[in-house]
Chain A
Amino acid sequence: MLLIKCPWCGERDMVEFTHGGDATKVYPKDPNATTSEEWHDFIYLRENPCGEHVEYWHHVAGCRQWLKVRRDTTTHDILTTAPADGDLDT
């Protein structure tokens, strides 16, 4: 894994990005109606698969946009990328 394809900037060196963690986690819709179990799940629990992982990256030293990436945690291959609120499979 050396090049990450930013949806806005194209393929860029990984040093321009920071990892944002598990992208299957969604911020609770209504914080006031969220139970402490749901907060616990959102804040602390992580999918941590050996294989394909859907995760956020931040193009922090580039366009500063967040993106979503599907990456293999055993080979570091970047499989697909999309805007953070986009769909990885289209």
Chain B
Amino acid sequence: MPSLVAAAFEAPYLDYAALAPEIVLTGVLLAVLVVDLFVDEDRKAVVAQLAGVGLLASLLPVVFLAVDGDDRSMFSGAYVVDDFALVFKALFLVSGYVVLLMSTDHIEEGDYWKGEYSFLLLSSLLGMVVMSSARDLLTIFVALELLSIPAYMLAGWRKRDLRSNEAALKYYLLGVLSSAVMLYGMSLVFGATGTTVLEDIARELGGDASEPLVALGIFFIVVGFAFKVSAVPFHFWAPDTYEGAPLPVTAFLSVASKAAGFVALLELIFMGFFGQDNVWQPLFWVLAVLTMTVGNLVALRQTNIVRLLAYSSVAQAGYMLVPFAVGGSSDEAAGTAQTAVIVYLLIYAAMNLGAFAIVMTVARRTRSGEISSYGGLFTYAPGLTVLMTIFVFSLAGIPPFGGWFAKFYIFKSAVDAGTGWALALAVVAGVNSVIALFYYAGVAREMWMQPVPGDDRTPIRVPPALGAALGITAVAVMAIGVYPQAFARLGDLAQLAVR
């Protein structure tokens, strides 16, 4: 019987500067929970403001760490603060702030328990911030659960609304099933390598021909995360959950939660399993083709704007899976693939949050999610129409808005890889971009050319918080589209070292 008696315990080295963003965020979310207890019901806005200021405060240490520039590693490589981690921490904190701005009025009018809402949102963000630094199977698992469990509750926030209940139930059951499947895969990988740290796993696995145990483990892990990023055929929860959940939560799930899934995939694939590309490359190839095609084709038939955005976000996940399917051939291809995914995630966050902010603003007046309710929007809300046009054309990938650059990088990664399979994938992605143009342009046509339904032309009032969210996202989309070099640089810096 082998012995498990470990050596004498040594306290691990803790770099508090590297952990500062997490520490500040934890402090803020506890403060939010406590302050919420002592604030009167009519002054709950204070709690949301505290959460917002706290999010910006935890962004400060991220900026300082980025200026400092050193890579910091803790717990024998299980928790690393490098450029990759910092870029994604910043992305999560900023998009969390935008979601908080979008929530302020939505939760106040017609929803309840504002304090707890902010608390859960911050908890989920903490999970994402931890995820960007996790370089270990166990840490990735804990981060994934920390970001998912509050999100299940947020999806069911409207307790008496049957649709919201259904959204929460579907999201919960598939989320838990996917993390259980992923865990089974992790247990197999642990069995094959005897370690949970990604760096050591890469060393143990090397580029050798895969054992069946490892191949099965990687398969289950990828399937688990395919649920998380809503890749076809594991996407069926997404449209229902997006439609039933409160709108700001939908925006949060479709952007931040999806990005966290991709962050975990980047870490696992390019740090842990890179040598085993004969296992994961074909898997991602099939997922990417299915996700792009099914997402776009089903989006064509949607009449509800939220469901349209849900299927469009499925399709967008498909584009982001393309670099994974072509990144395994060489270290260079891996670098280009990572840059492509990182740049796409940053731009996608801005344009998708912006589109949801518009949907929320319009829904405040029309109380409807039907695309037909956008008819003639230009005649009574020209500003919103122009912004929405920018966001949908950016999602479609038309210059000079940010989205074209993201798409360009996806194609670049496929063409640079140069293999027949990669080029075939680039062709599929190209055809899909054309299909996508139809439904995105359909929304624009409705707003600019169709008559106003019911001829109700009262202007739409934009509350300041929602206006700020719109401003941030619109500026980001335009800035990326006009000065893409700065973002490409960010993507290059943030690559993980491939082993």
Indicate, yes or no, whether A interacts with B: no
Q: Which residues of B are at the interface with A, using a C-beta cutoff of 8 A?
A: none
